[in-house]
């Protein structure tokens, strides 16, 4: 029903192939259109997000700056994380966190179908409580490759 636009596809091209598969399947499962806001992030963008407190990580410590699964150099531009947003009537409903949570559920369903583990920025520890975290990053998803990471 939905298709990613050219900008979203270019950002998806910078994420780990498994995360790309998850994002594609999540879009098929979602009742909402989805935009990809970030995949891999360079030093300037990452540090600007840190300085604005939209991220708790400086370059190159974010999952947006690297992949734990691929042997690569920082210049290879492959990340284990992406930022998404629901796209409704030509806009992102930033204050509608329940819609972000619904889309996150589609990412989890897709990850389960693809035998992958992911972490959502709306509930970093995955315990179902979204109100206990210092940073609630409703549109953040990242791959988990190793227990405890």
Q: Using alpha carbons, list the distances in angstroms from residue 44 to 48, 53, 60, 70.
A: 6, 14, 10, 23
Report d(CA 111, CA 113) in Å as an integer.
Answer: 5
Question: What is the Cα–Cα distance from 5 to 133, expressed in whole angstroms?
Answer: 32
pLDDT tens for 21-66 read 999 999 999 999 999 999 999 999 999 999 999 999 999 999 999 9
DSSP state of 15: B
Residues 129-134 have a mean pLDDT of 90
What is the rounded distance in angstroms from the CA atom of residue 93 to the CA atom of residue 86? Answer: 7
Q: Which residues does 61 contact at the CB level (< 8 Å), separation at least 6?
A: none
Phi-psi region of 128 (alpha: psi -120 to 50; beta: other; left: phi over 0): left
CA distance 17 to 12: 9
Q: Write the CA distances from 128 to 11, 16, 83, 124, 132, integer angstroms.
A: 29, 26, 20, 9, 10
Predicted TM-score of the model (pTM): 0.94
Q: Is the pLDDT of residue 149 over 60?
A: no
pLDDT band at 134 (very low <50, low <70, confident <90, very high): confident
On the CB side of 117, how many CA atoms lie within 13 Å of its CA?
Answer: 10
- Of 120, 121, 141, whose CA–CA distance to 16 is shortest? 141
Residue pLDDT, tens place only, 120-129 = 999 999 999 9
Q: Name the average pLDDT for the chain.
A: 94
Q: Identify the bridge partners of residue 83 per DSSP, sorted by sequence position.
A: 38, 140
Q: Using CA atoms, how far apart are residues 118 and 126, in angstroms rounded to an integer?
A: 10
- 94-119 pLDDT, tens digit per residue, is 999 999 999 999 999 999 999 999 99
Name the band, by pLDDT with cuts 50, 70 and 90, for residue 74: low
């Amino acid at each position: 029903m939905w298709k990613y636009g050219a900008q979203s596809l270019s950002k998806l091209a910078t994420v780990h192939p498994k995360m790309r598969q998850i994002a594609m399947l999540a879009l098929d499962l979602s009742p909402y259109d989805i935009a990809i806001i970030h995949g891999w992030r360079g030093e300037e963008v990452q540090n600007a997000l840190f300085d604005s407190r939209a991220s708790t990580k400086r370059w190159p410590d974010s999952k947006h700056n690297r992949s734990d699964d691929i042997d690569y150099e920082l210049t290879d531009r492959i990340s284990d994380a992406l930022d998404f947003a629901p796209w409704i009537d030509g806009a992102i409903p930033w204050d509608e966190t329940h819609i972000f949570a619904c889309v996150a559920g589609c990412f989890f369903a897709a990850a389960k179908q693809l035998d992958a583990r992911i972490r959502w920025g709306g509930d970093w520890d995955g315990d179902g409580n979204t109100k206990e975290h210092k940073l609630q990053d409703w549109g953040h998803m990242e791959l988990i490759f190793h227990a405890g990471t």
